[in-house]
Amino acid sequence: MSKAAFDLSQSQGDAVLALLERARVPPLPAFYRLFFDYVAGAKGLMAERVGTVLTDGKGAVGKRLYTEFIAPYENSEALDQALGQMLSRLATLDRLLVERSEASARHSRSLAEAGGHFGAERLDAGLLREWVQRLEVSHKLVLRANMALAGELAEAHRELAVTKAEIGRSRESTLRDPLTGIANRAGLDLALNRLMAQSPEHPLSVALLDIDHFKTLNDGYGHPVGDQVLRIVSHALLASARASDIVGRTGGDEFVVVLAGTALAAAYDAADGMRQAVAAADLASAMGTDILGGVTASIGVAELEPGESIAHLLDRADRCLYRAKQSGRNRVASLAVAADAA
């Protein structure tokens, strides 16, 4: 099975469903998003690797895709713990409600029986004292059950607030790259869609960045060194970006910076500042002088055009990135700047 085997002239949604069916992968939201990006040709989720998993015939496609592309973005330990505490609290509340109900029922029976004795024509003083004591004990049991229930309700309210906070943090973690802590593809997509919806009249640009010769570095020095370089580059981008910029990593050594309210010329200047920050990053102090000297990056910049989709915007930025690499790397390229230079 290959990507070319599908008629992509049909809607991408139909193509995704067909791919899910042929790969025998359940149509869960996470898998649908992954296959949709693959069918659409998105590079952020390493489409080439997805294609390999789909075509190498090694079986267990769903499990392999989940392990490689979905599980690393899930962080449910804290959420599971909070939910477990809530379930335990609910069980305690259920027990206390039963105890309170039983205490109230006993108290009601005692009151009814006492009413019968107190309504007699002749009252026995000893029996009267006994019933007063019995009613006092019954009343204390009801009060104790009510106080215990009130305390548990207060604790349940507190734990519910904690659980809601954990759910919020869990959702936030799915929008961040676990290696670098910056936005992942989902986080970038969310930010871009929000900006386009909230401020459609304002300029918006993106800078697409690749680390120069990263594969050679990764193969030569190993993945631990490659991971450290990715972290250092992300820190350099964060340090050089403006407060309004959104820095993210879409996969491999590819980074995207969303420049809100920024036209192409200003975006080009901002991207060049990021390029300089990456080149100036002190890798030696973080990784040792015996590992490597320095790292550079190539950047493609594009400004959103009226009515343009996010996919088309990133595609234009990717073409500019390719131009920057072909021109010698360690540089920024945009269509406007290239046209002016010509």
Q: Please, which pLDDT band fits residue 189 given cuts at 50, 70 and 90?
A: confident
Question: Distance between CA atoms of 59 and 199, rounded to whole angstroms?
Answer: 46
Note the pLDDT tens digit of each residue in 124-176: 556 556 666 766 777 777 777 777 777 777 776 676 666 566 555 555 556 78
| Domain at 185-341: CATH code | 3.30.70.270
Contact 264, 336 (CB under 8 A): yes
Longest dimension (CA), the chain: 118
How high is the pLDDT of residue 186?
81
Q: Please, which pLDDT band fits residue 286 given cuts at 50, 70 and 90?
A: low
Q: Does position 30 have pLDDT exceeding 60, yes or no?
A: yes
What is the mean pLDDT of the segment spanning 284-313?
A: 80
- Residues 6 or more apart from 44 whose CB is under 8 A from it? 37, 185, 188, 250, 251, 254, 256
Per cent of the chain over pLDDT 90 is 24
Lowest mean pLDDT among 150-154, 179-183, 293-297: 150-154
What is the mean pLDDT of the segment spanning 282-294?
A: 62
Most confident range (mean pLDDT) of 46-60, 116-130, 141-155, 213-227 is: 213-227
How high is the pLDDT of residue 275?
95
Question: Distance between CA atoms of 250 and 274, rounded to whole angstroms?
Answer: 17
Question: Distance between CA atoms of 205 and 310, rounded to whole angstroms?
Answer: 11
Lowest mean pLDDT among 14-18, 111-115, 253-257: 111-115
What is the mean pLDDT of the segment spanning 176-203?
A: 85
Q: Of 197, 308, 204, 217, give the one whose Cα is nearest residue 256.
A: 204
Count of residues making up the chain: 342
The ranges assigned to domains in the chain are: 3-73, 77-173, 185-341
Q: Please, which pLDDT band fits residue 11 given cuts at 50, 70 and 90?
A: low
- Residues 6 or more apart from 55 whose CB is under 8 A from it? 1, 2
Q: Does position 230 have pLDDT exceeding 80, yes or no?
A: yes
How high is the pLDDT of residue 107?
66
Candidates 1.25.40, 1.10.3470, 1.10.287, 2.60.120; CATH matching 77-173: 1.10.287
What region, left, alpha or beta, does residue 251 occupy, with left being phi > 0 and alpha being psi -120 to 50 degrees? left
How high is the pLDDT of residue 236?
92
What is the mean pLDDT of the segment spanning 35-49?
A: 59
Q: Please, which pLDDT band fits residue 70 given cuts at 50, 70 and 90?
A: low
